[in-house]
């Protein structure tokens, strides 16, 4: 059903707010992450930097409840429609990780902070 061979056992996973359509983040999934996501209806990714499963929200509590899973034509990417608990998907405290817009040669912050990362992660 999915092709995990293109990027070393990984596929791309996009999370989109199921209600508003806002694109929240993009991450990686290996087969195990995908299977657990399907089984639990909570988004599970694979962290390349930590080289392990990343159960989104396991630290912050901001889990993503999965409302729908869509597969692309090449079967190497999935789109999750999710309910983002806590209101913010980004570890920097913004609703979406795409909180900066390219404006001319500059990046302009267009997102609003939902939480203070220092308070949530204690760092």
91 lines the binding site for a copy of itself (CB under 8 A): yes
Pick between residue 12 and residue 60 the one whose CB is nearest to a copy of itself.
Answer: 12
- Closest contact distance (angstroms) between CB of 85 and a copy of itself is 19
On whether 76 is known to bind a ligand per the annotation, the reply is: yes
Figure out which of the listed residues 59, 83, 87, 110 binds a copy of itself, where binding follows CB under 8 A: 110
Instruction: Tell me: does residue 41 bind a copy of itself (CB under 8 A).
Output: no
x/- string (CB under 8 A) for a copy of itself, residues 45-64? Answer: ---x----------------
3-state SS of the chain?
CCCCCCECCEEEEEEEECCCCCEEEEEEECHHHHHHHHHHCECEEEECCCCEEEECCCCCCCCEEEEEEEECCCCCEEEEEEEECCCCCCCCCECCCCCEEEECCEEEECCCECCCHHHHHCC
Report the alpha-carbon distance of residue 95 to residue 97 in Å, rounded: 7
Residues within the annotated binding site?
72-74, 76, 90, 97
Residues of this chain that bind a copy of itself (CB under 8 A): 1, 6-7, 12, 14, 16, 20-23, 25-26, 38, 48, 68-74, 77, 79, 90-92, 94, 97-102, 107, 110
């Amino acid at each position: 059903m999915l092709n995990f061979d293109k990027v070393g056992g990984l596929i791309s996973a996009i999370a989109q707010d199921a209600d508003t359509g806002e694109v929240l983040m993009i991450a990686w999934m290996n087969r195990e992450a995908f299977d657990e996501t399907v089984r639990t209806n909570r988004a599970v990714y694979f962290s390349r930097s930590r080289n392990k499963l990343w159960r989104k929200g396991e630290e912050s509590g901001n889990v993503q409840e999965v409302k729908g899973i869509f597969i692309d034509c090449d079967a190497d990417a999935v789109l999750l429609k999710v309910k983002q608990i806590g209101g913010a998907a980004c570890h920097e405290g913004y609703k979406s990780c795409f909180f900066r817009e390219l404006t001319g040669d500059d990046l302009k912050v267009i997102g609003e902070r939902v939480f203070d990362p220092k308070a949530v992660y204690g760092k």
